[in-house]
Amino acid sequence: MRLCIENKNRNIFLTLLLFLTAYAACSGGRFRDLDYEEVKHRWAENLEKNRAKYPDNFPWKHPEKRVFYQSDFVVYMFSDQFAQGDAVYLEIVPGEKIEDYKIFFNKREILLTETAWGYKGLFGIEPNHPAGKAELEIAYEDFMQARRQSLPFDVKKKKFPVSKTLLKLGKYSDLSELRKPEVKKFIKECLQKKKEAFSKSEENLLTSNFSHPLKNHVVTSEFWARRIKYKYDKARKKRKKQKNSTHKGLDLAGANGTPIFAVADGKVALSEKMYFEGYYTLIDHGNKIYSGYMHQNKTYVEKDDTIEAGDKIGEVGSSGAVTGPHLHVFVMIQGVMVDPMSLLVLPYRE
Ligand SMILES: [Zn+2]
């Protein structure tokens, strides 16, 4: 075939040909029906529209993002910093005929929720996950064929504070008190109730709503702070090291009676007085995601109540083993404790 093209037109023709070749090479049917611009637009819009409710002094910032363009799907991940102890939100936008997604982090399956556009889920980076290389493993079926791919990303190191504290928890650090039969019995009952509350979880109850648990953001003890506890030996006038403990939640300052808000939508799994936790509320957000609120003065909710993010669920207090009034809040995602505040920057969408 003879092509009769003027020089100027030929350049246009070549550019177009090059573009089409390149387009065919990189798309080549790879992405099938995926409309990437549409997807990007939707989550960007969502990020702005569905910002969590949080106090003015909360240091909100855009989450970091990782995108994996695979031949059969795209995975988006969002996290505060992809650091140890951070929650991660992920979306899988599949091509057609791709089914039965299963996704794993650290051999742990991430529970996914199917949506109109694909799948979404949350997972936690264990606070003691080594910094550096990490990967998600994704298993799926494509045209009846089982496939597996790994998606590598980096986990950032987080400096968790270490503090030395003198144990001053009154009767809670008094062994003779803890040995009393009625106390032992109550502690055992509490353990049983907590075990039951964590043993079942609803299907996903999360929507795009998230909320800070208080009106004011003042951290008094960081998430995963290690505490070396001391007891004062009066006879020897010396501090005696007792044990190391890890703070599996976040302590936020608040005066007695300050309202506490649910951090996300869910169903109350437990709300009553416990020995160490004081007035304790546990909310099930579905897919084995829980948030817990301890040492309350009062709780406003009961087991099985349906809760929306930002609902007033109780009041700050100093019940249980504490040195003063504050809120201890924790978030656990499929068995992994994460910094509750890392949830508030995620662009979770419907
Ligand atoms: Zn605490």
- What is the predicted pLDDT for the residue at 113? 93
Question: What is the per-residue pLDDT across 117-169, written as a single tens digit (0 to 9) for each?
Answer: 889 999 999 999 999 999 999 988 777 788 888 999 999 999 999 877 665 66
Spans of all domains in the chain: 31-155, 162-343
- What is the predicted pLDDT for the residue at 77? 95
Handedness of CA 116, 119, 124, 125 (dihedral sign): negative
Instruction: Please give the distance, rounded to the nearest whole angstrom, from the Cα atom of residue 163 to the centre of ligand 1.
Output: 13
Instruction: Please give the distance, rounded to the nearest whole angstrom, from the Cα atom of residue 321 to the centre of ligand 1.
Output: 10
Instruction: Please give the distance, rounded to the nearest whole angstrom, from the Cα atom of residue 8 to the centre of ligand 1.
Output: 72
Instruction: Please give the distance, rounded to the nearest whole angstrom, from the Cα atom of residue 220 to the centre of ligand 1.
Output: 9
Strands (E), 44-191: 64-69, 73-79, 87-94, 98-105, 108-110, 112-114, 119-124, 132-142, 145-155, 162-166
Instruction: Please give the distance, rounded to the nearest whole angstrom, from the Cα atom of residue 165 to the centre of ligand 1.
Output: 13
pLDDT at 21 over 60: no
Instruction: Please give the distance, rounded to the nearest whole angstrom, from the Cα atom of residue 61 to the centre of ligand 1.
Output: 24
- What is the predicted pLDDT for the residue at 1? 37
Q: Which of 247, 245, 249 is nearest to 228 (CA)?
A: 245
pLDDT, mean over the chain: 84
Q: Which of 12, 156, 34, 154 is nearest to 83 (CA)?
A: 156
Both tokens of 264, joined, read: 């996300």
Three-state secondary-structure class, residue 311: coil
The alpha carbons of the chain give a radius of gyration, in whole angstroms, of 25
Instruction: Please give the distance, rounded to the nearest whole angstrom, from the Cα atom of residue 293 to the centre of ligand 1.
Output: 10
As a whole-number percent, the residues of the chain with pLDDT over 70 amount to 79
Q: What phi and psi values does residue 59 have, to the nearest 5 degrees?
A: -80, 70
| Strand pairing report for 162-166 and 226-233 | parallel
Instruction: Please give the distance, rounded to the nearest whole angstrom, from the Cα atom of residue 261 to the centre of ligand 1.
Output: 17
Architecture, CATH, for domain 31-155: Sandwich (2.60)
Instruction: Please give the distance, rounded to the nearest whole angstrom, from the Cα atom of residue 115 to the centre of ligand 1.
Output: 36
Higher pLDDT, 257 or 17: 257
Query: Stretch 233-249: mean pLDDT, rounded?
Result: 76
Instruction: Please give the distance, rounded to the nearest whole angstrom, from the Cα atom of residue 196 to the centre of ligand 1.
Output: 22
Superfamily of structural domain 162-343? Glucose Permease (Domain IIA) (2.70.70.10)
Instruction: Say how far apart CA 245 and CA 224 lie, in whole Å.
Output: 9
Question: What is the per-residue pLDDT across 29-80, written as a single tens digit (0 to 9) for each?
Answer: 334 445 556 656 665 666 666 667 899 899 988 899 999 988 778 899 999 9
- What is the predicted pLDDT for the residue at 19? 42
Instruction: Please give the distance, rounded to the nearest whole angstrom, from the Cα atom of residue 65 to the centre of ligand 1.
Output: 30
Q: Which of 290, 300, 232 is nearest to 261 (CA)?
A: 300
Instruction: Please give the distance, rounded to the nearest whole angstrom, from the Cα atom of residue 274 to the centre of ligand 1.
Output: 15
pLDDT at 27 over 80: no
- What is the predicted pLDDT for the residue at 46? 62
Instruction: Please give the distance, rounded to the nearest whole angstrom, from the Cα atom of residue 247 to the centre of ligand 1.
Output: 6
Instruction: Please give the distance, rounded to the nearest whole angstrom, from the Cα atom of residue 276 to the centre of ligand 1.
Output: 11
